[in-house]
Amino acid sequence: MKPNELKYGDVDRLIIDNVEEGEYLVNRAVFTDEQVFELEMKYIFERNWVFVGLDSELANPNDYFTTFVGRQPVIVMRDANGELAAFINSCPHKGARVGHHRKGNTKQFVCSYHGWTFNTAGECIYIKDQDSGGYAEPFNQLDHGLYKIKFGTYRGFMFASLTDDVPTLEEHLGEAMPLLDLIWDQGPDGVEEIPGRSTYTYDANWKMQLENCIDGYHLTSCHPSFMNVVSRRKAGESDNQQVKSIDFNMLGQVEGGTACMPRGHAVIYSPNAAEHERGLFLHKDELVERCGEAKTKWMLATRNLTIYPNVQFAENASLQMRIIRPISVDKTEMTIVCIGAKGESDAARLIRIRQYEDFFNTSGLATPDDTIAYEDCQFGYQGKELAWSQGYSRGISNVKSSADELTDEIGFDPETSSYGKMTDWDESVFYGGYRAWKKFIKDGLAVDGKD
């Protein structure tokens, strides 16, 4: 099938999901078709839980930040009494945005157009010249406050949904919760954003990023400069003795796994032979005492986690949080930030930041490699005669529908999993995301009577 044969809602034909027969193909229309993008925004981003941030961004009463859920502008706030909530960032009067800054602290928002004023609980507390307005009863009956949307937190991870018609946040996260615990529990009071977040765009589809975080196969071919730099440091050819967060010499010997969870979440993981180089390792004794041996081992391990559809936690060369915002079918905004345990020692924080800068930061050795690869793919997709991508076949013979010993050890029970040598570079880890992709879109179309 060629992409130009796509009919509205014809999502089934875009993914050939025939694992029993060893076949899995993805049609490139999922990365290029405007109609597909429209369906994704409507049914995956605007009728689903979407990650909005860590609660460390709203530490104090009257803290707020502005963001997006799908394509819709949102403001997330902690009110004067400490309650968190999310609202559409639009004045009910005539629509002007009320929050102009990325983040801040204020007792009230005064709309700069006609002066209506809102407190941080979203209530309208002032309508300019209301008494002389000649308003009638229907107007008085309206709620003049900011439009509140569904909001939830798991530990300190904050999510919002534009519709109430979603499962509970716990149901949405499901088996991903113990994996989020491995992040949150790195400090006795959780984790926080370390100042210095970056935002950038790349000219390719949002799912390129979604896949890449759990795509181990690209590591050795896409990031040779980083691997060479780290190897030379290990060999003593550099004065930089601080940043050796991964032992690439051990890659062929390390075993690891991949796992897919319902609703699109996925993870790849392996023990980290260089765990003693990590900032977190300085707090190992405290971690073992508080969380136990097994959990500590997996906190120090390499884990790249996707919480579908828009946030990833990459724990390998430091701990990075990535928030994905699709802008159009071929443009994506990324917000990336280093996160770390609240209250960790200066020494641990220093190592964490240096490792983050080295690999992850926009100026680090990995991010430019990856974004250029996404843009090269999007460029290649202009070759529409070649409709199907083959990059979903590695490991198809090894997929299991049960947990393995290591997933048992950290207490989560995925929908499917795969386990073997890290250098098997499994690609079956993408299946869960595409199954959720299909389900979200088809369920949404059915509810709208368009199936």
Q: Could you tell me which stretch among 92-100, 177-185, 348-356, 426-434 binds ligand FES (CB under 6 A)?
A: 92-100
Calculate the alpha carbon distances from 396 to 215, 276, 405, 412 in Å. 14, 34, 20, 22
Stretch binding ligand FES (CB under 6 A), from 112-120, 176-184, 216-224, 432-440:
112-120
With respect to Fe ion, which residue has the nearer C-beta, 39 or 366?
A: 366
C-beta pairs of 114-121 under 8 Å, 24+ apart in sequence: 116/91, 116/92, 116/144, 118/145, 118/146, 119/79, 119/80, 120/61, 120/62, 120/64, 120/77, 120/78, 120/79, 120/80, 121/77, 121/79, 121/80, 121/81, 121/83, 121/85
Question: From Fe ion, ligand FES, none, which one binds at residue 370 (CB under 5 to 8 Å depending on kind)?
Answer: Fe ion
**Nearer residue to ligand FES within complex by CB, 144 or 354:** 144
Residue with tokens 């999922």: 30
Shortest distance, position 198 Cβ to ligand FES, whole Å: 32
Report d(CA 96, CA 114) in Å as an integer: 9
Whole-number Cα distances in Å, 381 to 26, 205, 388: 12, 11, 10
Helix (H) or strand (E) holding 54: strand 50-54
Half-sphere exposure of 141 (CA within 13 A, CB side): 3
Does 370 contact Fe ion by CB under 5 A?
yes
Q: What is the DSSP pairing of strand 124-126 with strand 148-154?
A: unpaired
Binding residues for ligand FES restricted to 165-184, rule: CB under 6 A: none
Q: What pairs with residue 326 in β-bridges?
A: 332
Site size with ligand FES, rule: CB under 6 A: 10
211 binds Fe ion, rule: CB under 5 A:
no
Check residue 96 for interaction with ligand FES (CB under 6 A).
yes
Asked if 246 interacts with ligand FES (CB under 6 A), we say no
> Hey, which bits of 243-378 come out as E strands?
255-260, 266-270, 302-307, 311-316, 318-328, 331-341
| Residue 175 lies near Fe ion (rule: CB under 5 A) | no
To which residue do tokens 């559809």 refer? Answer: 309
Nearer to ligand FES, 112 or 240 (CB): 112
* 111 contributes a contact to ligand FES by CB under 6 A: yes
Binds 91: which of Fe ion, ligand FES, none (CB < 5-8 Å by kind) = ligand FES
CA 321 to mean position of chain CA atoms: 7
Residue from the set 91, 160, 317, 406 that interacts with ligand FES by CB under 6 A = 91
If one asks whether residue 113 binds ligand FES (CB under 6 A), the answer comes out as: yes
Specify the residue, 57 or 370, whose C-beta has the smaller distance to Fe ion: 370
Nearer to ligand FES, 96 or 294 (CB): 96
The answer to whether the beta carbons of residues 132 and 118 sit under 8 Å apart is no
To ligand FES, the closest distance from the beta carbon of 115 in angstroms equals: 6
Nearest-angstrom CA–CA distance, 96 and 15: 41
Q: 121 or 282, CB closer to ligand FES?
A: 121
| Residue whose CB is less far from Fe ion, 66 or 209 | 209
| Binding flags for ligand FES, 40-79, as an x/- string (CB under 6 A) | ----------------------------------------
User: Minimum Å distance from CB 7 to Fe ion?
Assistant: 35
Separation CA 220–CA 424 (nearest Å): 12
Q: Which is nearer to ligand FES, 110 or 294 (CB)?
A: 110
CB of 137 to ligand FES, least distance (A): 21
Determine, following the binding rule CB under 6 A, whether residue 162 of this chain makes contact with ligand FES.
Answer: no
| DSSP-based three-state secondary structure for 125 | strand
Residue 335 CA to residue 352 CA, distance in Å, equals 18
Q: Which is nearer to Fe ion, 209 or 407 (CB)?
A: 209
Of residues 91 and 169, the one with the C-beta less far from ligand FES: 91
Residue (106 or 393) nearer to ligand FES, CB: 106
H helix runs in 33-168, sequence order: 34-40, 137-141
Q: Which of 2, 13, 38, 94 lies at the binding interface for ligand FES (CB under 6 A)?
A: 94
For 59-136, strand residue ranges (E) read 63-69, 72-78, 84-88, 103-105, 108-110, 117-119, 124-126
Report the alpha-carbon distance of residue 408 to residue 294 in Å, rounded. 10
Pairing of strands 157-161, 50-54: antiparallel
Cβ of residue 109: shortest distance to ligand FES, in angstroms? 10
Q: Does 116 bind ligand FES (CB under 6 A)?
A: yes
- Choose among ligand FES, Fe ion, none what residue 113 binds, the Cβ cut-off being 5 to 8 Å by kind: ligand FES
100 lies in the site for ligand FES, by CB under 6 A = no
Stretch that binds ligand FES, among 89-97, 176-184, 300-308, 380-388 (CB under 6 A): 89-97
Residues interacting with Fe ion, by CB under 5 A? 366, 370
Residues forming the site for ligand FES (CB under 6 A) = 91, 93-96, 111, 113-116
